[in-house]
Amino acid sequence: MSRRRRTEEEPENHERWLVSYADFITLLFAFFVMMYSISSVNEGKYRVLSDSLVSAFQTVNNDKASVQSQSVVSKTPIQIGKTPKMLAPIANKLPVQDASKNSRKTPAAIKKDLTDSLKTWVNKGDVKIKSSNFWLDVEISSGALYRSGSAALLNESRKILEPLSYELLGSDKPVYVLGYSDNVPIYTQKFSSNWELSAARAVSVVNLFSSLGVEPKRLGAIGFGEHRPVADNNSALGRSKNRRVVVRIFTGEDLFAESKP
């Protein structure tokens, strides 16, 4: 009897609310995690949507050009937060009548025109133009086109690549974009090797040329990674020279064309 009476006299536990409170905090944490996950915007899809809206509004503005009070829609896609400004996929193609003039240009004339139009970058050392009996090479430093470890073209790269693409329009000569890197190992979520990075960079340039009107069947992309250096990778200067993209314009037949039966 004394043992039963002692049990009945034990004080009531007033901290049982902590169990419910812990469950509430857990649910609240799960709720905010879910909200954060659905608020992360896919930048690529966002840019496509942005460019589609820009294109639609530009069409409307062109049809109502007499209304002077309408605002001009920018071609630059809306940036998300502090996302670096990357190259917008919308591009202005050169008029067909102007592009047809390029078909009559000689390699020497193309080299001269490119040297003039890219003079600023040639003087800075970001662009080198070389020629041989078989092709014309336009070598561009990777730093002028991309951020470190990225294959997304910067907006500033347009100033180099657009004049170059205009020289390619209207011609039937094959064009190959060659990507190179230094020997510093890279292993990111997107690229597992320098080979992949160099190939992706070459593809990004090819995609831009195609969007500007260059025939896709004339284009090709090749990645060499760190395996064909032009300088010593043991120095910072040498590595910077090895990180490059070369646009090779063939002056004759396509060396990579399939042989006809």
Q: Looking at residue 210, what is its pLDDT? A: 94
- Same domain? For 191 and 153 the reply is yes
- 104: in domain: yes
Domain-located, residue 255 = no
First-last CA distance in the chain? 107
Q: Is residue 33 part of a domain?
A: yes
Is 248:178 a contact under the CB 8 Å cutoff?
yes
Over range 150-171, report the average pLDDT. 91
Q: 72 and 171 share a domain?
A: no
Mark whether 75 and 117 lie in a shared domain. no
- Look at residue 213 and tell me if it is in a domain: yes
Mean pLDDT of 94-103: 53
Residue after which a domain boundary falls, among 83, 109, 134: 83
**Both structure tokens of 206:** 């090819």
pLDDT of residue 99: 54
Q: C-alpha dihedral over 165, 170, 174, 180, to 10 degrees?
A: 0
Residue 175 has a pLDDT of 94
pLDDT above 80 (res 19): no
Contacts (Cβ under 8 Å, ≥6 apart) of 52: none
Residue 256 located in a structural domain: no
Question: Considering the entire predicted model, what is its pTM?
Answer: 0.62
Are residue 184 and residue 111 in the same domain, yes or no?
yes
38 with 109, same domain: the answer is: no
Confidence of residue 191 (pLDDT cuts 50, 70, 90): very high
Count up the domains in the chain and report the number.
2
Candidates 204, 218, 112, 217; CA nearest to 158 is 204
pLDDT exceeds cutoff 60 at 1: no
Is residue 260 a part of any domain in this protein?
no
**114 and 216 housed in the same domain:** yes
Higher pLDDT, 248 or 172: 248
Please check the confidence at residue 176 and state whether its pLDDT lies above 90: yes
C-alpha span between 102 and 24 (Å, rounded): 70
Last residue of a domain, one of 83, 110, 140: 83
CA atoms within 13 A on the CB side of 85: 8
- Torsion region of 125: left, alpha or beta (phi above 0 gives left; psi -120 to 50 gives alpha): left
At which of 32, 52, 83 does a domain end? 83
> Residue 18: which H helix or E strand, with range?
helix 17-39
Q: At what angle do helices 158-168 and 107-117 cross, to 10 degrees?
A: 160
pLDDT per position as a tens digit, 250-260? 987 777 777 65
Is there a single domain that holds both residue 101 and residue 211? yes
Q: What confidence score (pLDDT) does residue 5 get? A: 53
Instruction: Check whether residue 110 and residue 75 sit in a common domain.
Output: no
Looking at the structure, tell me whether residues 104 and 133 fall in a common domain.
yes
Residues 167 and 115 reside in one and the same domain: yes
Q: Whole domain around residue 209: which residue ranges?
A: 96-250
- Domain shared by 231 and 155, yes or no: yes
More confident residue, 132 or 231: 231
Region 215-227: mean pLDDT is 94
> If pLDDT is split at 50, 70 and 90, which confidence band does 71 have?
very low
Residue 173 in 3-state DSSP?
coil
The string of pLDDT tens digits covering residues 103-146 is 667 888 888 999 999 999 999 999 999 998 889 999 999 999 99
